[in-house]
Structures are given as C-alpha cells and as structure tokens.
C-alpha cells in the first residue's frame, strides 16, 4: 500500500489567504521529505475557504522545491477551459516536472464556479467527457490534427495556419508516453463514471468524505469497466482517500481529531456537510440511501470518517478498512488546516514513518512507507 496526500485545501474564512497558500506549499514540501508518494491539490474559482484557484499553477511552484513526490492536479476541472489549453499546459507541466506529474481530472462540481463561467445551465459532465476525448486526441495526434469527433463541441485544427518548417502548429506532447497517469476523483456511491474509468485505464480515487460502506461499489464498478475492456483491474491502481490524525497518545488524537471545538477535523466536516446538503449530495454521509436526514449528525460523521488514534490504533483501523473494502493500492491522507502546526506535522510524520511501514509489514509487503499492493 502506498501513502499519498490530498488537500482541497479547506481553511477557516478568517485566515489570511496568502498565509494559507504558503502554508499549503510547505506542507507538500514536508510530505516530499517524509516520503509520501504523491500529492493531489484541489481547485475552485469561487470558494474563499478552498482558495487554490488553479492547481497546476500552485503545483508548478513546487516542482523545483521537491525531489521525489509526484505532483497531481486534484483535480483539473475540464468544463472550465478549452481542451487545447489544458492539453498544452498539462504537457508543459509534465516536461518541467520530468514525469513527476499525475493528471487528476473532473467535470468541476462547484455550482458558483459554473455560474461565474456562464455554464451553470450546461451539462458539465458532458463537457468533461468531450474535453478529455479531445485532450487525448491532441496528445496522440499530429498537425494539422483536424479533430472533429462525433457529438463533440470542441474542434481542433491548425490546417489553415500551420507552418511546420518553423514549428508553428505543433501542440506539445507530454513527457510521459503516451501520457501521464490520469486519475479521477469518485464521490457518488455506485458511480457509473468509474466503469468508464476502467474502460479507459484511468485510475479512481475514492473521496475521503465517503462512508466506508460505499467504497466497495467503486471497486466493483472499476473492475466491471476493466472487464469490458478485456483487462483485469489491479489493486495498485485504486486510491482511497481517508481523513486521518495520528497522535502521540489517545487523548491528543481524540481531542484534536474529533472532539475539541477548534479541531480542524470538526471544521472540515461541518463545511463538507453544509456544502453537500446545499448541492443535495449528502447521501454520502448515510449508511443507506433512503435513511432520513435526521440520522446525520456532525459527531456521527466524525466517528465514521475520521481515523484517529495512536500509531498502533491507526494501523489497526487501516487494516480493518482493507479487510472491509478489499485491497487498497494507496491510502491518501487528507490534509487539514493547521490549527496546531506541530500536531498537524507530527501526524504526517507518524503516518509516514510509523503507521505505513507497520501496515505494509502486516500485509506481507515489507517494512516500508510505500509498496505496490498485490
């Protein structure tokens, strides 16, 4: 099992945005030093709490300050820009990072982003599907491209203006061949999009705010998609994001991870429940889809979704999770606001240097932070 990192990020509104951007950069640098395998960064245009407006720009500032960690958009929202722009920018990033790049993609779920862009009434899922088809066609094609796919609004050609002897008309291809790993975040239980991921060899990352009981539906659908493509699903390709806090003792873990009024985990899930309720997606916090909304409380969400405890307690909880949902390729540690920087950094350190080696040793994969699942 590998260890990854994901952050939206999500900060209290009273915090200075410049300060949190630099804090989030330092956290990724720290994750690299600790041996995390990859780091996914979210993006939104119109959310003060989630103030990374472009994950690729943010990550570009980290290319030369990190050494081994893979830098991943988490995600690039494909409904927000023309696919030619995204294809060219992602390809350049991949070259700058010399292959330490993962292309995380999604339609873009935030309604206020869509309204600001004038696409609120459009089917962003359909835009996403058309955009990724064109991005891949660009990366696999050559000038003049002449990309005109059926039922696709995006047409790409340089036939009228190309001057190939001076290089005009070429769109950059990625450093990695044929292209970087493509990862899609999966939120909804029984998501049909995961079937399509399997068919296209994109890799799923199950969201950290989804209850454990829904996770097997993601693996089942991904496996079904791989089967449709005549391939076998590999456990190493499934990322499961979880909200984790590791403390030096149980009292600290319980307080900072769940119970203290100032806990960043309480703030995070209060925000997430509010946001999901507004968009009518709060089913993710229910054990059964037809449960009444009254069954959802903040304390119950924290009990269900926050893995907290000492090193040995967290090891046991992660092993129990794998026993429940199936073999996990990567556990993705969800980053929180650093209410207490020392506790936040200590948790990451314990996760990388104490928890994961013990998890992998228990799984027969050796005493190491990162190991490919079998």
The pair of three-digit structure tokens given for residue 202, joined into one six-digit string: 């994109």
Neighbours of 118 (CB within 10 A): 8
* Sequence-separated contacts (24+) of 23-29 with Cβ below 8 Å: 23/338, 24/52, 24/58, 24/335, 25/58, 25/61, 25/62, 25/65, 27/335, 27/338, 27/344, 27/345, 27/348, 28/62, 28/66, 28/69, 28/71, 29/62, 29/65, 29/66
pLDDT, position 204: 98
Express each pLDDT in 138-196 by its tens digit: 999 999 999 999 999 999 999 999 999 999 999 999 999 999 999 999 999 999 999 99
| Confidence (pLDDT) at 330 | 98
Name the band, by pLDDT with cuts 50, 70 and 90, for residue 374: confident
pLDDT at position 210, please?
93
Residue with tokens 């292959």: 99
Please report the pLDDT score of residue 23 as a whole number. Answer: 98
Please state the rounded mean pLDDT for residues 215-225: 97
What the chain holds in terms of domains, given with CATH numbers, is 2-244+310-362 (3.20.20.30)
Percent of the chain with pLDDT over 90: 98
pLDDT score at 347: 98
Q: Three-class SS of residue 206?
A: strand
User: In the prediction, which pLDDT does 122 show?
Assistant: 97
7 forms bridges with which residues in the sheet?
A: 41
The Cα 139–Cα 156 span in angstroms is 12
Quickly state the pLDDT bin for 298 (edges 50, 70, 90). Answer: very high
Mean pLDDT along residues 320-328: 97
Q: In angstroms, what is the C-alpha Rg of the chain?
A: 21
CB 347 within 8 A of CB 246: yes
pLDDT computed for residue 233 by the predictor: 98
Residues of the chain with pLDDT > 70: what percent? 100
């Amino acid at each position: 099992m590998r260890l990854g990192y994901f952050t939206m990020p999500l900060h209290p509104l009273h915090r200075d945005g410049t300060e949190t951007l630099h804090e989030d950069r330092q956290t990724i640098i720290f994750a690299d030093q600790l041996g995390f395998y990859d780091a996914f960064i979210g993006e939104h245009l119109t959310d003060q709490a989630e103030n990374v407006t472009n994950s690729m720009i943010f990550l570009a500032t980290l290319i030369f300050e990190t050494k081994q960690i893979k830098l991943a958009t988490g995600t690039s929202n494909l409904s927000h820009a023309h696919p030619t722009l995204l294809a060219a920018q992602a390809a350049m990033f991949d070259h700058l990072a010399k292959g330490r790049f993962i292309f995380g993609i999604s339609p873009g779920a935030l309604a206020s982003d869509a309204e600001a862009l004038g696409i609120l009434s459009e089917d962003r899922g359909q835009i996403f599907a058309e955009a990724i088809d064109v991005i891949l066609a660009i990366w696999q094609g050559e000038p003049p491209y002449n990309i005109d796919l059926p039922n696709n609004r995006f047409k790409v050609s340089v036939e009228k203006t190309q001057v190939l002897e001076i290089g005009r008309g070429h769109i950059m291809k990625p450093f990695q061949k044929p292209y970087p790993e493509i990862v899609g975040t999966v939120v909804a239980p029984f998501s049909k999009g995961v079937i399509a991921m399997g068919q296209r060899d994109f890799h799923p990352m199950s969201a950290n705010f989804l209850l454990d009981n829904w996770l097997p539906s993601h693996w089942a659908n991904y496996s079904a998609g791989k089967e449709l493509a005549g391939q076998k699903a590999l456990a190493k390709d499934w990322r499961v994001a979880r909200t984790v806090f590791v403390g030096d003792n149980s009292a600290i873990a319980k307080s900072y991870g769940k119970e203290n009024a100032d806990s960043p985990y309480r703030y995070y899930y209060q925000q997430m429940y509010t946001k999901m309720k507004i968009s009518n997606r709060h089913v993710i916090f229910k054990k059964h889809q037809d449960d009444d909304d009254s069954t959802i409380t903040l304390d119950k969400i924290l009990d269900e979704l926050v893995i907290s405890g000492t090193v040995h307690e967290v090891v046991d909880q992660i092993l129990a999770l794998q026993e429940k949902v199936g073999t996990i390729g990567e556990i993705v540690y969800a980053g929180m606001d650093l209410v207490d920087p020392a506790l936040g950094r200590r948790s990451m350190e314990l996760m990388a240097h104490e928890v994961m080696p013990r998890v992998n040793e228990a799984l027969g994969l050796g005493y190491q932070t990162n190991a490919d699942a079998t």
